[in-house]
Amino acid sequence: MKICIWCRKDETQESFDKKAHTIPQSLGGKNICENVCDKCNHYFGSPQPNLPSSELVLKEMLNISKYYLLKTANSIPKNKRYKSEYFNINWNTFHIKIKPRYSLKDGFQKKLGRQFRKAMFKVFLEERERQRNDALADRFNFIREFARYDLGNYPIYIHIPKFKVILGSLPDIENPQIRFTDHSDEMDKEFRIYGYQLLGHNFLIPTSPFFDELCRDDFLKYLVKDNHPFGTTIKRIDYAENIDYTFRYIAD
Ligand SMILES: [Zn+2]
């Protein structure tokens, strides 16, 4: 019997006919989470009042990085151009700007940032279910509330890179994946954080609503002590522009 990891309804209450891609297909995601009902699946792909869907925001923002990485690897398929509803991109200078009709809207950047964070949590929980089959645990309730019901507000971080290199293989750029490993279990247990490598970025998402209060200081100390290869400092993502989509730190 399937139970939806978002609304907890089962097959007697909701239909489960549509395929729920964990990472959007439009970003190259191939994995499916079986335990997502059609209603919740539809929610993630639907715009909300004056706001694009979280799936579209994730796609638009990370496709910039994907396009950049494929371009530097000379792997852009013929006839493929990056198109965006929200961003203007100069592919010679790699500068990105939100299109004027959106940038003038009050608080739009912040709303994009929030939708992006919700989408990152959504991918996390669906992959968690697919790989570990324990997404219904109560400790993930805050992710359900935030990603699915738009309640509360939870941070996402990104490593500030230490080295001028981009880690990641071509297959992972074409078909992005996140992985749960012994190491990620350890980080989860010790610091309530999940290291989330996606399209050349090293994101971090809290696995507890109390990460900031209870674990962040210890985690930052650990990064320094470990001289962590992804970087010993982290940055909070509040706005769409907080992410260095085109890896300008390499050129700087
Ligand atoms: Zn559901």
Give the Å distance between the CA of 70 and the centre of ligand 1: 35
Q: Return the H-helix or E-strand segment holding 158.
A: strand 157-160
Give the Å distance between the CA of 202 and the centre of ligand 1: 29
d(CA 4, CA 38): 9
Q: What is the pLDDT of residue 168?
A: 75
Annotate 193-250 with DSSP letters as a single string. Answer: EEEEEETTEEEEEESSTTIIIIIHHHHHHHHHHTT-TT-SEEEE--SGGGS-TT-GGG
Question: 3-state class of 71 per DSSP?
Answer: helix
Residues in the chain predicted with pLDDT less than 50, given as ranges, are none
Give the Å distance between the CA of 148 and the centre of ligand 1: 9
Give the Å distance between the CA of 205 and the centre of ligand 1: 23
Give the Å distance between the CA of 244 and the centre of ligand 1: 33
Q: What is the pLDDT of residue 179?
A: 95
d(CA 214, CA 161): 24
Give the Å distance between the CA of 121 and the centre of ligand 1: 16
Phi, psi of 75, deg, nearest 5: -120, 20
Give the Å distance between the CA of 4 and the centre of ligand 1: 5
Give the Å distance between the CA of 40 and the centre of ligand 1: 4
Q: What is the pLDDT of residue 1?
A: 93
Q: What is the pLDDT of residue 98?
A: 82
pTM of the model: 0.93
Give the Å distance between the CA of 189 and the centre of ligand 1: 28
Give the Å distance between the CA of 8 and the centre of ligand 1: 6
